[in-house]
Amino acid sequence: MKVLVPVKRVIDYNVKVRVKADQTGVDLANVKMSMNPFDEIAVEEAVRLKEKGKASEVIAVSIGPAQASETIRTALAMGADRGILVKTEGEVEPLAVAKILKAICDAEKPGLVIAGKQAIDDDAGQTGQMLAALNGWPQATFAHRLELGETSAKVEREIDGGLQTVEVRLPAVVTTDLRLNEPRYASLPNIMKAKKKPIDEKTPADYGVDVTPRLKVLKVSEPPKRQGGVKVKTVDEFLAKLREAGVL
Amino acid sequence: MATLVIAEHDNKLLKDATAKTVTAASQLGTGVHVLVAGHNCGAVAEAAAKLAGVEKVIVADDALYLKPLAETMETLILSLAGKYDAILASATTNGKNILPRVAAKLDTPQISEIIKVVTPDTFERPIYAGNAIQTVQAGAGKKVISVRTTAFKPAEPTGSAAIEKVAAARDPGTSKFLGEELSKSERPELTSAKIVIAGGRGMQSAENFKLLEKIADKLRAAVGASRAAVDAGFVPNDYQVGQTGKVVAPDLYIAVGISGAIQHLAGMKDSKVIAAINKDEEAPIFQIADVGLVADLFLAIREMEEKLTELGT
């Protein structure tokens, strides 16, 4: 069974994000970019399925600028077999991403799509569920444990208050939560090997998808800043301050 | 036209999250209807009917919805969607699971986790873990919106809406609920507690977290944790507060042994009062804490527990 993994190029999670002075967005100039951490978990899970003989091929797809090919290379170095880069400019909304992924699913016929539960840039958390709906497939979001069978998958999901187990018929979409696995670091030989793996270049037009944003971003602003308050040295002072604030 | 709110409940109790989402829905300026999909969920429907601003409660009471799955909820909501120009759900794991399916099928972009209704078609939402706030305007067509409930006050239980029954929608039959394991705790729920006491990597072990639990019991507080503490295996993941965990905004948030990574702050910086205990005076948490105690946290929390016992707080 083929496994498709969408990967997104985002600002590295360690970078302190700065809002542009003209409020049109955040400053991406000379900022370190990486693969969305939840997508790394998705790649890792797919590669493990391949290593266990449950997946025949792992395909990494990225929808983004030309540099998103680096993100695909990262996935290839972790063990994905080939990549598809759908080149776009500017922001692409999750619904448009899901439509492109649906067209790729129609062409590639994967048995499973493993996606990150959210991207840490727009924090939308929509793409996997939208893709499942457009495909008419079931989904298992926020996966904590995945057990892949021939025709169905059993997934433990992280929900508010605990864990839920569902069984979904294949093909299906699974989205990853943090505790699904710990992604590997690509070894140098694998990074070298990844350079030879194929990446197909496409455009949204190849899939007949219009990626024009449907929502209008009026501005991006700084959140209200919190000021630090007092520092104290003893528990008594600490409790006294909290009583003063009326919260104890 | 009206706004439809998807209720969050466990077939017995309506969650506070729904009362807050109703407040956001009321700000869209049209009537608010609440959909309660469950099984033997009459009490939930009655609670929803009492929320101020709700004009109608629609109940789909069927075994199919005992544990609603995204697939079954999708067909039910779509069967009703024609009558609404906006569909809202709380940004809980349940709402996040269901809502994008509905948006995709309606071919409308979803607006996730709004924190403010600026005008009925313009909303504020946090991006980059709350390090930036995006103001976004919806286009023509239906709006599908998830609501960050910590940003809205709950609607008061002062109303009396009509309750209408609807039949179950088609079961796509592609998914099955097998079971769930919910953490059993006498303490309040993390996202609705008035006081949260959270531990970080500085707690050093699962054993030490019990010290926080003792204080939590005295304060009737919920216990939370940073991702570092969860990753270290001190506590389960549903304790996690932050960008990739839960977002909380209690009256008092006490961060113990938490350095204050931006991803953690994303989950708690809207708390009314933030208190921090850390031995590192330079820890970033102190830059946003209203009250900071620079001390060895183990000595401090033991002393705190004694003092709270003496006072019978």
> For A146-156, what is each residue's pLDDT tens digit?
999 999 999 99
Point out the residue among B181, B231, B300 whose CB comes nearest to the CB of A162: B181
DSSP label at residue A228: P
Residue whose tokens read 């998808």: A209
Flag the least confident range among A178-182, B58-62, B64-68. A178-182
Q: Where are the beta strands (DSSP E) in B104-245?
A: 110-114, 116-119, 122-127, 132-137, 143-147, 162-165, 175-182, 195-199, 222-225
Test B100 with A236 for CB contact under 8 angstroms. Answer: no
Mean pLDDT along residues B258-267: 93
**pLDDT digits over B137-155, tens only?**
999 999 999 999 999 999 9
A71, A64 in Cβ contact below 8 A? yes
According to DSSP, the β-strands at B132-137 and A216-221 are antiparallel
| Pairwise CB contact (< 8 Å): B105 & A139 | no
Instruction: Determine the Cα–Cα distance for residues A222 and B54; give it in Å rounded to an integer.
Output: 34
Burial class (CB in 10 A: 0-12, 13-18, 19+), A182: exposed
Read off φ and ψ for residue B122, nearest 5 degrees: -130, 135
The percentage of residues in chain B with a pLDDT greater than 90, rounded to a whole number, is 89
**Rounded CA gap, B220 and B196, in Å?**
9
CA neighbours closer than 13 Å in the CB half-sphere of residue B81: 24
Contact B137 A216 (CB under 8 A): yes
- Residue closest to B147 by CA, chosen among B191, B190, B177, B107: B191
Q: How far apart are CA B203 and CA B184, in angstroms?
A: 22
What average pLDDT does this structure show over B222-237?
A: 94
From chain A, the residues in CB contact with B179 under 8 A are: 164-165
Which has the closest alpha carbon to B210: B294, B301, B308? Answer: B301
Residue A122 tokens read as: 């727009």
Separation between Cα atoms, residue B50 and residue A177, nearest integer Å? 36
**Min Cα separation B47/chain A (Å):** 21
Q: Which two tokens stand for residue B95?
A: 């709402």
pLDDT(B90) > 80 = yes
Task: With a cut of 70, say whether residue A135 has pLDDT above it.
Answer: yes
E strand residue ranges, chain A: 2-6, 9-11, 33-35, 57-64, 82-87, 112-116, 139-148, 152-159, 162-169, 172-176, 199-202, 216-221, 230-232
More confident residue, B27 or B150: B27
Which residue in the set B92, B179, B275 is minimally distant from A242, CB to CB?
B275
- Cβ contact, residue pair B127, A220, below 8 Å: yes
Q: Which pLDDT score, from 0 to 100, does residue B195 have?
A: 97
> Beta-carbon neighbour count of residue B311 at 10 Å?
11
- Residues with Cβ within 8 Å of B104's Cβ and at least 6 positions away in sequence, in order, are A95, A98, A129, A130, A131, A133, A134
The pLDDT, as a whole number, for residue B312 is: 62
Backbone angles phi, psi at A109, to 5 degrees: 50, 55
* Rounded CA separation A63/A133 (Å): 19
pLDDT band per the 50, 70, 90 thresholds, residue B271:
very high
C-alpha B86/C-alpha B81 separation (Å) is 8
Nearest C-alpha in A relative to B136 = A217
- Looking at chain B from residue 104 to 143, which residues have their Cβ under 8 Å from any Cβ of chain A? 104-105, 107-113, 122, 126-139
- Taking the Cβ of residue B80 and every Cβ of chain A, the question of whether any pair is shorter than 8 Å is answered with no
Tens-place pLDDT, residues A36-63:
999 999 999 999 999 999 999 999 999 9
Contact A138 B175 (CB under 8 A): yes
The whole-angstrom separation of Cα A106 and Cα A90 is 25
In this prediction, residues B156-167 reach a mean pLDDT of: 97
CB contact under 8 Å between A220 and B135, yes or no, is yes
- CA distance from start to end of chain A: 57
Q: Which two tokens stand for residue A144?
A: 């904590």
Q: Which of B181, B294, B300 sits opposite A163 (nearest CB)?
A: B181
B270 vs B99, more confident: B99
Between CA A193 and CA B148 the distance in angstroms is 44
Q: What confidence category does residue A78 fall into, taking pLDDT thresholds of 50, 70 and 90?
A: very high
Sheet containing B195-199: which strands, arranged edge to edge? A230-232, B291-294, B273-278, B252-256, B195-199, B222-225
- Is the pLDDT at B313 greater than 80, yes or no? no
Supply the pTM of this predicted model.
Answer: 0.94
Torsion of CA B90, B96, B98, B99, to 10 degrees: 70
C-alpha–C-alpha distance, residues A242 and A46, integer Å:
49
Chain B residues touching residue A144 (CB < 8 angstroms): 237
Q: Tell me A19's DSSP state.
A: B
B243·A120 Cβ contact <8 A: yes
Q: How confident is the model at residue A248 (pLDDT cuts 50, 70, 90)?
A: confident
Average pLDDT over residues B11-35: 97
Using a CB-CB distance cutoff of 8 angstroms, which residues of chain A are in contact with residue B173?
169
pLDDT above 70 as % of chain A: 100
Find residues 145-164 of chain B whose CB sits inside 8 Å of chain A: none
Task: Report the 10 Å Cβ neighbour count for B137.
Answer: 14
For residue A232, what pLDDT band results from cuts at 50, 70 and 90? very high
**Tokens describing residue B17:** 């999250």
pLDDT of A211: 97
What are the pLDDT digits (tens) for A80-120? 999 999 999 999 999 999 999 999 999 999 999 999 999 99
A220–B134 CB contact, under 8 Å: yes
The answer on pLDDT for B243 being more than 90 is: no
Residue found under tokens 């499973």: A112
Model confidence at B307: pLDDT above 60: yes
Mean pLDDT calculated for residue range A195-213: 97
Predicted local confidence at residue A225, as pLDDT? 85
> Residue B31 has what pLDDT?
95
* Residue in A95, A122, A220 nearest the CB of B103: A95
Q: Does B182 touch chain A (CB under 8 A)?
A: yes
For residues B262 and A27, what is the distance between their CA atoms, to the nearest angstrom? Answer: 17
Under DSSP, is residue B202 helix (H, G, I), strand (E, B) or coil? helix
| Nearest CA among B251, B247, B253, B243 for reference residue B292 | B253
For residue B75, pLDDT beyond 60: yes
Q: Which of A238, A241, A243 to mutate to test the interface with B (most CBs of B within 10 A)?
A: A238
What are the two backbone dihedrals, phi and then psi, of residue B159, each rounded to the nearest 5 degrees? -100, 180
The answer to whether the Cβ–Cβ distance between A214 and B307 falls below 8 Å is no
Residue closest to B48 by CA, chosen among B82, B98, B6? B6
The residue whose two tokens read 């403010």 is B116
Residues in chain A within 8 Å Cβ distance of B139: 214-216
